[in-house]
Amino acid sequence: MPSRTNDPNRKSWLDVAENSDFPIQNIPFGVFLTKEDVITIGTRIGDYAIDLGALQQLNYFEGIELTDDMFMQDTLNDFISDGKKTWRLVRNRISDIFEINNPKLRDNAEHREIVIFKMEDVEMQLPVLIGDYTDFYSSKEHATNVGKMFRDPENALLPNWLHIPVGYHGRSSTIIPSGIPVHRPMGQTLPNGETSPVFGPSRLVDFELETAFITTDANIMGENIPVNEAEDYIFGMVLLNDWSARDIQKWEYVPLGPFLAKNFASSISPWIVTMDALEPFRCKGPIQEPMPLPYLQQKGKHAFDINLEVYIEPENVAPTLVSKSNFKYMYWSMSQQLAHHTSNGCRVNSGDMMGSGTISGPTQDSFGSMLELTWGGKNPIKMADGTERKFINDNDTVTMKGFCQNSSVRIGFGEVSSKLLPPFVRK
């Protein structure tokens, strides 16, 4: 049970700023590199990174069945593979260690020195080795906006959309953690009115505001995951900027879907926030009409109230908030996505990542991409320095933030932030 860790009255002996995304109720998991070049699995409280490998060596996880080097690894895959029971035991234990009245580590200066780092002194890594990356397309507002712009405004949603959590496979090799800059991609595009394509830098680089969930080993090949069990196989969530090159996408995507328009980079926030931490923010999703087929029918609440924001920050200019959305707008839930994904027996492994698809809300200021926010470039957005953006310019930094907030606690994701560099030039 996550209950004592989720208690909003619990406080830590570590300083936590009032508006921090990382109070003692969060306890996310990540991987970081210290200045001494040590890579370890860790968690975060306030602005402190906590070395779980060191905690384990110092015997703070006594009584929890863990392999000896569980946290002295450069990915969370093995830990995630241990399953929900272990995740909970560890998260609760961490919470207890840092609980304000627990003197064990609090009063042991030597141990604190080994275990606790300032966030500014560590470098966050990709938290998992992602075997397979799937991206869904589960925001009705986004699918409708795209359908209106590129297909038929009267029949914006394709016939399968209300029946299937439509998804496709993405590229694992170019998933990067927040902070790593991305080069504007080169690619083939078809200039307006032409019949022959040209090759050059994409002119329409866009962000896509998404979240993603990380799975544990969910099934054997051939076997499906029932929709009402699916959440048990979800370890946690991150923010995802699914960088997109709209002009490349438009020319390449028929009939097999987006490829080079997407696979040049996908940026994620480095801390995986567990489903247990998100539990207080569970809410009802949109009504699904028509009723999904039985294998997608689920009981209870499976949406989550997660506030999402996107900022664009030109070089040496203050950032501008360009979108405010919420994960609760998603038409298809993560459980439905995972049940659908495995309905044909497709194997899901520990560390696999599944993206939500662009999360657009019902109002124009809640759309999840520049394509939608500027309606294909027709309504540019003004930056703090007075310049306008239809899409993303070279040297702009795109930052996405996500957090849950109720009257007693805030559980946040931190951010995924990356700068768009000019095209790569071979030296």
The single residue among 93, 341, 390, 401 that binds a second copy, judged by CB under 8 A, is 341
* Residue among 89, 102, 131, 394 that touches a second copy (CB under 8 A): 131
Known catalytic membership, residue 169: no
Residue nearer to a second copy on the CB measure, 257 or 319: 257
Rounded-to-integer distance, Cα 35 and Cα 117, Å? 10
Q: Which is nearer to a second copy, 35 or 426 (CB)?
A: 426
Hey, what are 252's tokens?
A: 């390449």
Count the Cβ atoms, other than its own, within 10 Å of residue 405: 15
Identified binder of a second copy from the candidate list 9, 59, 101, 221, rule CB under 8 A: 221
- DSSP per residue, 296-320: G---S--EE--EEEEEEE-TTS--E
Q: Does 1 bind a second copy (CB under 8 A)?
A: no
Enumerate residues 238-297 that contact a second copy by CB under 8 A. Answer: 245, 248, 251-260, 263-265, 290, 293-295
Which CB atom, from 210 or from 252, has the smaller least distance to a second copy?
252
Binding flag, residue 311, a second copy (CB under 8 A): no
Report residue 282 as tokens.
């569970």
Q: Other C-beta atoms within 10 Å of 306: how many?
A: 25
Query: Cβ-count burial of 171 within 10 angstroms (0-12 exposed, 13-18 middle, 19+ buried)?
Result: middle
Query: 23 or 368: whose CB is closer to a second copy?
Result: 368
Q: Which stretch binds a second copy (CB under 8 A): 20-28, 160-168, 298-306, 331-339?
A: 160-168
Q: In this chain, which of 11, 106, 183, 324 binds a second copy, going by CB under 8 A?
A: 183
Q: According to the binding rule CB under 8 A, does residue 396 interact with a second copy? A: no
User: How far does CA 44 lie from the centroid of its chain?
Assistant: 17
CB of 347 vs a second copy, minimal distance in Å: 4
Q: Using CA atoms, how far apart are residues 375 and 370, in angstroms rounded to an integer?
A: 8
Number of residues that bind a second copy (CB under 8 A): 65
First and final C-alpha spacing in the chain: 55
Rg (the chain; Cα; Å): 22
Please identify which residue in 4, 85, 104, 169 interacts with a second copy, judged by CB under 8 A.
169
- Of 370, 73, 340, 86, which Cα lies nearest the Cα of 207? 370
Task: Tally Cβ neighbours within 10 Å of residue 18.
Answer: 6
Nearest residue (CB) to a second copy, 302 versus 340: 340
Smallest gap, in angstroms, from Cβ of residue 203 to a second copy?
14
Work out whether 105 is an interface residue with a second copy (CB under 8 A). no
Measured CA to CA, the distance from residue 219 to residue 158 in angstroms comes to 31
Catalytic residue among 111, 142, 183, 341: 142
| Residue 292 to residue 358: CA distance in whole angstroms | 21
Q: Which residues bind a second copy (CB under 8 A)?
A: 131-132, 137, 158-160, 163-164, 166-174, 176, 182-183, 185-188, 190, 195-199, 221-224, 245, 248, 251-260, 263-265, 290, 293-295, 340-341, 343-349, 352, 424, 426
Residues designated as active site? 142
